[in-house]
Chain A
Amino acid sequence: MNIKELASRLEIEEKECREFLFLFQKTATLELSNLERALKMKEVSVVERLAHSIKGAAGILGLTEIQDAAKKIERSLGLNQLDEIQSELLLIKKTLEAVTLALNKKFKDA
């Protein structure tokens, strides 16, 4: 993932972009683990709200993979297909890791 590129796409400074990504990463990681726990407990409305939140934030930052995956989760919930969710979760996790990596890389470079 290229932060510089993302920043220019969003028409913001790279520094700003980092800050937003950092906020997103922090929030989404927490939300994701909460989501997984809620899923185990079959608390559908909680899963739904968390997916909605992740989707919204990802959309803002143009992280379309995460956004689409979160959207699919929402839809599976509506159709009561809880099993379909796992693969989307995995995808979100992977992308989040990439974000984390990209953020850390800059710090190492500096």
Chain B
Amino acid sequence: MKKKILVVDNHPLMLTFMSQLLEKEGHQVLTADNGLSALERLKTFTPDIIFIDLIMPHISGEKLCQIIRKTPALKETYLIILSAIAAEQEVDYASFGADACIAKGSLDKMAKHILASLALADRRTGASSPPKIIGIEEVYARNITTELLSVKKHFEVILNSMVEGIFEITPQGKIVYTNPRAMTLTNRTEDQLLSSDFIELFLPSDRPKIKEILHQAGVPSKPLPVHVNGPLIVNEKPMDLRLLPIIEETQRSLIVILTDLSEQKRMEAQLIQSQKMEAIGTLAGGIAHDFNNLLMVIQGNASLMLLDMDTSHPHYAMVKMIEKQVQSGSQLTAQLLGYARKGRYELRPIDLNRLIIDTSEIFWRTRKNITLHRDLAENLLPCEADQSQIEQVLMNLLVNAADAMPEGGDLSLTTANVKVNELPGKGDLPKPGDYVLLTVSDQGVGMDPETLHRIFDPFFTTKQGGRGTGLGLAATYGIVKGHGGFIEVESQKGHGSTFKIYLPVSTQVLPPQKTSSAPQLKPTGKILLVDDEEVILEVGEKILKVLGYQPLVAKGGPKAIEIFKEHHGTIDLVILDIIMPHMGGGEVYDRLKEISPEVKVLLSSGYSLDGEASNIMAKGCDGFIQKPFDIDHLAQTIKNILETV
């Protein structure tokens, strides 16, 4: 019976021999000299039998069989492996879907085997006959070059375990090899990939570029490895592409190395983000420092003017306005410092309930349409914190809650002692231990997930017309983190929001409440004011004089020590700036203490390097005052220090 036969072999001799042999028998024969052109043929030709060589350029015989077996139209086609390899080693041809295997031998014998195999194809029953290689016994010894095989195995192991996807493609851009990683990266099976167009892996918009690159890489005159600096998008992931042209004598192809950049991109983004945060933090800290000094001078002068001014004075309201704006300005710098995790000056055990009552009272006076509900734990443990920063946190949350309820509404504040257990999972989670929990809940507009995702970003605000700075929660986050605590937020659009602030419990006990009912003494005493800025010294001197003290001023550390020595034993208090050129506040403090261990020192700063102020405080410094300060605040602070013996 006449059959349609395809012969696939890369040797012209084999193709000629097979055509002649089979045509003589009356069969219709087509030939192909490699796997790819065979697949091309099979698009229009459906043979009854295909003879396939194993070792061929581009798609190997084994691959070709696998592809054919997966092609529905070729299910019934009888596949015969015709290979010299079969003469030298076991070929498990059934494993890749072939029906029979003939070892290449000399023409006379091969001719008989081939004709016999045709008969076999006819007699084929569904039941698979045991794999048998025809012709082996007649070929020379099977002393295959096993060394060679083991080298190949090594390469295979390497290729199979690489994290890069590796393709081999023909100069025409057809894929002829993929390693397993290339399949996972492209999310395609080997069958889908083999003999498909490489270019189709890419987005249509990238294809012209790829085409150009393939062309470049394949220019016969001087092929060079091309490095496409991604990211190209493949399977929705950013990828880097490298092309290595392979020029062999008989075959030209391109090795393509595909690297997934997702992880690298993510890390880069993370790095950029943290660098950005770091930069903003440094910037914020620097600005805050200079700004506070500047505000200090404005504040001081305004205070001094008000002292001489009656409320009926035509300028009274204006100077008051200046004071108020200075207050807003210093709030802004406090937010920046909070965000930068700077400005934690005075860590001491505080009673959070007390702080909540005081702060919420002040707040409520400005937002009377809000109904406050307080549910404060009676036995609340103290937490170690900077009082003014925690006030700032609470104020931020209260203002946001009120903003979320423009028509007014209920706002609840609760506190509790909680134990946080070990949380299995990611690294950055809170340390297990005892915490004080502050919950601020509103019934306002709430937030959608996108907003929720960004609320802690500095300068993120949804408030229109300059009403929001986007710094409130950024500062809140920075401050809480800086205190070793953490924040949880729950919110749904239209259903209100709940902010939970966890602060670590202090191991220390609360200091006794200061009784501020001490008899009003007329202030007296000699005070040395140390700062590196002339204007601060000027206004400070005036203020101290107004308060009734006898001021001395020193510009810089060395000068301060000189004056302190001169007035040995008569100086009641030193007000000391922390950041000064040449000799910083820390060093000045130590020197002063050397000269006179009993000296009282009040630290003052517009900003501190994290820990610097706390370090000096820890050495037993008597107090801290944040610039800009107004007269009342300064008076109170000085009085407190001088009164404590």
Which residues of A are at the interface with B, using a C-beta cutoff of 8 A? 9-12, 16, 19-20, 23-24, 26-27, 31, 34-35, 37-38, 43, 46, 48-50, 52-53, 55-57, 59-62, 74-75, 77-79
Contact = CB atoms under 8 A, between A and B. Distances in A.
A77 B105 CA distance: 23
A31 B12 CA distance: 12
B582 to A, nearest CB: 69
B20 A53 contact: no
Given A52-B84, A53-B11, A79-B147, A60 B17 contact: yes
A57 B148 contact: no
Counting contact residues on chain B (CB < 8 A from A), the size range is: 20 to 34
Given A77-B148, A78-B145, A78-B151, A11 B111 contact: yes
Contact of B249 (A12, A24, A26, A37): A37
Nearest to B88: A71
Given A56-B84, A57-B13, A74 B108 contact: no
Contacts of B110: 60
A50 B250 contact: yes
Interface string B352-380: 00000000000000000000000000000
Contacts of A78: 145-148, 151
A27 B11 contact: yes
Contacts of A50: 249-250
Nearest to B10: A53
Contacts of B248: 38, 43, 46
B250 A34 contact: yes
B107 to A, nearest CB: 4
Contacts of B399: none
A51 B235 CA distance: 41
Given A37-B249, A46-B249, A56 B145 contact: no
Contact of A74 (B12, B104, B148): B148
A60 B145 contact: no
Interface of A is mostly: helix
B166 to A, nearest CB: 15
Contacts of B106: 9-10, 59-62
Interface string B231-272: 000000000000000001110000000000000000000000
A99 to B, nearest CB: 12
B10 A62 contact: no
B189 to A, nearest CB: 27
A52 B168 CA distance: 22
7 contacts: A16-B20, A23-B13, A38-B248, A56-B84, A59-B139, A60-B106, A74-B145
B16 A61 contact: no
A49 B249 CA distance: 11
Interface in B2-29: 10-14, 16-17, 20
Contacts of A79: 147
Which of B55, B104, B111, B248 has the largest number of chain A CB atoms within 10 A?
B248
A10 B107 contact: yes
- Top 3 nearest A-B pairs by Cβ distance? A78-B147, A34-B249, A78-B148
Contacts of B20: 16
A59 B139 CA distance: 9
Contacts of B250: 31, 34, 49-50
Given A38-B249, A52-B84, A59 B104 contact: yes
Contacts of A31: 249-250
Nearest to B110: A60
Contacts of B111: 11
B12 A23 contact: yes
Contact of A23 (B16, B55, B147, B151): B16
Contact of B107 (A23, A60, A75, A77): A60
Contact of B145 (A19, A38, A75): A75
Interface in B145-190: 145-148, 151
A20 B16 contact: yes
Most chain B Cβ neighbours within 10 Å, of A19, A34, A57: A57
B506 to A, nearest CB: 72
Given A23-B13, A24-B13, A27-B12, 13 more contacts: A16-B20, A23-B16, A38-B248, A43-B248, A48-B148, A49-B250, A52-B84, A56-B84, A57-B14, A75-B148, A77-B145, A78-B146, A78-B151
Q: Which of A26, A57, A60 has the most CB of B within 10 A?
A: A60
Nearest to B55: A52
Given A55-B84, A59-B84, A78-B151, A11 B108 contact: yes
B241 to A, nearest CB: 24
A50 B11 CA distance: 11
Nearest to A78: B147
A60 B104 contact: yes
A64 to B, nearest CB: 9
Nearest to B85: A52
Interface string B105-124: 11110110000000000000
Contacts of B84: 52, 55-56, 59
A27 B471 CA distance: 79
Contacts of A60: 13-14, 17, 104-107, 110
A61 B589 CA distance: 102
A53 B147 CA distance: 18
